[in-house]
């Protein structure tokens, strides 16, 4: 009989029957002693079996906990065997109630991450829906505002060119808000900044002269919310060429302009609400290119690349006077991935960077184009046709949106969120004071090897993640927008 059977049998016996059997003497003392010996032996066996199973289970749990610590870069320093198991259980169950868990995570060099899931979608439904939507790829700020500039030459009665003008049109969700004619300009709008007071726009300005050859300079203009043109300037700081990288809203009616002078100087200019320059500072940094600039507390944070041929990435802080006050870490990467940062925002005393994650050897053949080529070889195809259901998973594989949550003093990532098969989008703070991160999930694709501008194109559905001040996700939203992308 097994130990469990004996315990079960003893448990069913009535205590009075056992007492009665001892009084009546129906069982001999020897038999009672023999029965007691059997029961004692079974008890020892049961306890031994239980302890053995406990020891094995404990060893397995401890081994699993150690593996978990090692895989996730968690330190076991100062922790007992019990602590390690308790912290392990606390994390995997997402309880976070054990007193030492927070210290383990805080002291770890590992950056914790969370993969965010998006709903599954039928490609047929997506294609039908996307074909009925208007693309908004020109909407650079994501607020529905689109600027367009038409440029015209002005001729005299003899047919000679005497001047030029730009006609700027502003649309809100495809509705024309206003049209403004700006004399003596020929502007190719690069981008614009929407502020509470109006729109700041900037771009290349071809300056026409009847005496000198045409020259190209950058132009900054401001039009208020009523469509009234307030001012326009061509910055001149003594450079042969000055390239505007970004224009930022200071929140007090003034703007900051991040620019590059003669490919060697990183500059800051500040302008008041009437377009008067109130500050200018240049820093000799060598050849560089700025990808993104953003307000950072009371100052600015700038992301770009030094030594363009060497692609040495940088993130630096700049104060309101244009002085470079601090350098962040030079690049954001893991062992096998590199992050291309698209947007930055300071929120809830943390720095958020939205980025696209690509394999480090992406430019050396580990990319979607290599897989497409292999597909054609294996299928012996000469017409370069690849069906959507084959191409889309390949393209999704090499598009991963990442949101890095970084320390504001060092720039070091503390945790991240990732979305597979998606491209990263804008970061902003809504009217409720919540931070929003948009991602563009790739839902359909096509391959066009004969086009000059791009070989891969497709449609994306825009999703939005909303965060509170502590950096926790409040909700996920489907914006209903469909965007087009090319590569």
The reply to whether 77 and 136 lie within a common domain is no
The reply to whether 357 and 478 lie within a common domain is yes
| Residue owning tokens 């909407």 | 139
> Strand, coil or helix: what is 138?
coil
- More confident position, 92 or 348: 348
> Does residue 296 lie within any of the structural domains?
no
**CA 457, 458, 460: angle at the middle one, nearest 5?**
140
> Taking residues 380-396, what's their average pLDDT?
83
The pLDDT assigned to 270 comes to 94
> Taking residues 156-162, what's their average pLDDT?
79
Question: What is the rounded distance in angstroms from the CA atom of residue 68 to the CA atom of residue 75?
Answer: 11
> Does residue 423 lie within any of the structural domains?
yes
The reply to whether 133 and 87 lie within a common domain is no
> Does residue 186 lie within any of the structural domains?
no
Residue 384: both structure tokens together: 């370069």
Which residues are CB-contacts of 425 (< 8 A; sequence separation ≥ 6)?
A: 142, 342, 343, 354, 401, 437, 438, 439, 440, 462
Taking each continuous run of H as one helix and of E as one strand, the counts in the chain are: 8, 24
Residue 455: both structure tokens together: 């070989």
> Strand, coil or helix: what is 369?
helix
The pLDDT assigned to 128 comes to 39
> Taking residues 91-116, what's their average pLDDT?
67
Question: What is the rounded distance in angstroms from the CA atom of residue 76 to the CA atom of residue 90?
Answer: 15
> Sign of torsion, CA 416 418 424 425?
negative
The reply to whether 134 and 83 lie within a common domain is no
In this predicted structure, the answer to whether residue 271 has a pLDDT above a threshold of 90 is yes
The reply to whether 66 and 127 lie within a common domain is no
C-alpha 141, offset from chain centre: 16
The reply to whether 73 and 122 lie within a common domain is no
Question: What is the rounded distance in angstroms from the CA atom of residue 315 to the CA atom of residue 309?
Answer: 18
Q: Could you say which of 90, 110, 130 is where a domain stops?
A: 110
> Does residue 7 lie within any of the structural domains?
yes
The runs of H, that is alpha helices, within 72-207 are 81-92, 101-106, 123-131
pLDDT above 70 covers what percent of the chain? Answer: 73
The reply to whether 67 and 121 lie within a common domain is no
Structure confidence at residue 155 as a pLDDT band (50, 70, 90):
confident
> Strand, coil or helix: what is 63?
helix
Mean pLDDT of the chain: 76
Question: What is the rounded distance in angstroms from the CA atom of residue 446 to the CA atom of residue 456?
Answer: 6
Question: What is the rounded distance in angstroms from the CA atom of residue 89 to the CA atom of residue 108?
Answer: 17
The reply to whether 31 and 128 lie within a common domain is no
Range in 7-21, 41-55, 79-93, 146-160 with the lowest mean pLDDT: 7-21
The pLDDT assigned to 483 comes to 86
In this predicted structure, the answer to whether residue 278 has a pLDDT above a threshold of 90 is yes
Owning domain of residue 54: 3-110
Per-residue pLDDT tens digits for 196-214: 888 898 888 776 655 555 5
With both helix axes pointing from N to C terminus, report the angle between 29-71 and 81-92 in degrees, rounded to the nearest 10: 70
Strand-pair partners of 355:
341, 402
Range in 16-30, 54-68, 407-421 with the lowest mean pLDDT: 16-30
> Does residue 172 lie within any of the structural domains?
no
The reply to whether 106 and 120 lie within a common domain is no
Other Cβ atoms less than 10 A from the Cβ of 155: the count is: 11
Among 427, 372, 346, 439, CA closest to 115: 439
In this predicted structure, the answer to whether residue 247 has a pLDDT above a threshold of 50 is yes
> Taking residues 131-143, what's their average pLDDT?
42
Helix (H) or strand (E) holding 90: helix 81-92
> Does residue 403 lie within any of the structural domains?
yes
Question: What is the rounded distance in angstroms from the CA atom of residue 165 to the CA atom of residue 182?
Answer: 6
The reply to whether 345 and 446 lie within a common domain is yes
Helix (H) or strand (E) holding 184: none
In this predicted structure, the answer to whether residue 76 has a pLDDT above a threshold of 60 is yes
The pLDDT assigned to 106 comes to 58
The reply to whether 384 and 405 lie within a common domain is yes
Structure confidence at residue 2 as a pLDDT band (50, 70, 90):
very low
Domain count of the chain?
2
> Does residue 39 lie within any of the structural domains?
yes
Structure confidence at residue 48 as a pLDDT band (50, 70, 90):
low
> Does residue 428 lie within any of the structural domains?
yes
Per-residue DSSP letters for 238-258?
Answer: S-S-EEEEEEEE-SSS-EEEE
Question: What is the rounded distance in angstroms from the CA atom of residue 121 to the CA atom of residue 422?
Answer: 14
What are the distances in angstroms from CA 227 to CA 23, 167, 223, 230, 231?
110, 12, 6, 9, 12
The pLDDT assigned to 60 comes to 80
Strand-pair partners of 404:
353, 416
Residue 15: both structure tokens together: 């205590």
- More confident position, 10 or 63: 63
In the sheet that holds 400-406, the strands lie side by side as 112-115, 413-420, 400-406, 350-359, 337-347
| Residue owning tokens 């560089």 | 288
The reply to whether 362 and 438 lie within a common domain is yes
Which residues are CB-contacts of 144 (< 8 A; sequence separation ≥ 6)?
A: 136, 172, 173
Structure confidence at residue 126 as a pLDDT band (50, 70, 90):
very low
Q: Could you say which of 55, 88, 110 is where a domain stops?
A: 110
> Strand, coil or helix: what is 485?
strand
Question: What is the rounded distance in angstroms from the CA atom of residue 197 to the CA atom of residue 182?
Answer: 19
């Amino acid at each position: 009989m097994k130990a469990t059977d004996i315990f079960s049998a003893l448990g069913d016996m009535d205590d009075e029957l056992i007492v009665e059997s001892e009084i009546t003497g129906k069982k001999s003392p020897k038999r009672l002693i023999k029965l007691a010996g059997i029961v004692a032996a079974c008890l020892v066996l049961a306890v031994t079996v239980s302890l053995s199973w406990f020891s094995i289970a404990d060893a397995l749990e401890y081994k699993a906990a150690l593996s978990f610590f090692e895989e996730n870069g968690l330190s076991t320093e100062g922790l007992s065997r019990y602590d390690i198991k308790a912290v392990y259980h606390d994390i995997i169950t997402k309880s976070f109630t054990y007193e030492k868990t927070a210290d383990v995570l805080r002291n770890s060099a590992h950056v914790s991450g969370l993969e965010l899931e998006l709903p599954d979608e039928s490609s047929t439904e997506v294609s039908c829906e996307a074909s009925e939507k208007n693309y908004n790829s020109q909407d650079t700020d994501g607020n529905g505002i689109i600027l367009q500039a038409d440029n015209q030459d002005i001729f005299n009665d003899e047919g000679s060119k005497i001047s030029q003008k730009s006609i700027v049109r502003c649309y809100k969700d495809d509705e024309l808000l206003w049209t403004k004619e700006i004399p003596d300009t020929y502007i190719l709008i690069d981008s614009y900044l929407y502020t509470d007071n109006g729109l700041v726009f900037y771009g290349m300005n071809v300056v026409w002269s009847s005496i000198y050859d045409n020259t190209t300079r950058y132009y900054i203009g401001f039009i208020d919310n009523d469509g009234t043109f307030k001012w326009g300037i061509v910055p001149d700081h003594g450079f042969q060429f000055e390239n505007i990288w970004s224009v930022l809203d200071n929140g007090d009616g003034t703007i900051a302009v991040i620019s590059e002078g003669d490919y060697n100087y990183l500059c800051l200019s500040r302008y008041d609400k009437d377009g008067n320059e109130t500050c200018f500072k240049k820093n000799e940094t060598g050849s560089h290119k700025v990808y993104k600039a953003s307000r950072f507390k009371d100052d600015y944070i700038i992301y770009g690349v030094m030594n363009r041929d060497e692609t040495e990435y940088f993130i630096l802080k700049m104060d309101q006077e244009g002085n470079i006050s601090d350098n962040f870490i030079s690049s954001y990467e893991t062992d096998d991935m590199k992050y291309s940062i698209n947007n930055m925002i300071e929120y809830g005393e943390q720095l958020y960077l939205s980025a696209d994650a690509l394999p480090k050897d992406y430019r050396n053949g580990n990319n979607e184009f290599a897989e497409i080529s292999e597909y054609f070889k294996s299928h012996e195809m000469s017409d370069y046709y690849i069906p959507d259901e084959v191409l889309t998973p390949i393209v999704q594989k090499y598009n991963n949106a990442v949101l890095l949550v970084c320390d504001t003093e060092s720039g070091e990532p503390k945790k991240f969120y990732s979305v597979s098969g998606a491209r990263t989008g804008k970061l902003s703070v809504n009217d409720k004071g919540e931070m929003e991160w948009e991602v563009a999930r790739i839902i359909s694709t096509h391959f066009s090897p004969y086009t000059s501008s791009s070989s891969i194109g497709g449609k994306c559905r825009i999703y939005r993640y909303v965060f509170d001040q502590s950096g926790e996700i409040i909700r996920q939203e489907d914006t209903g927008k469909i965007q087009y992308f090319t590569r």
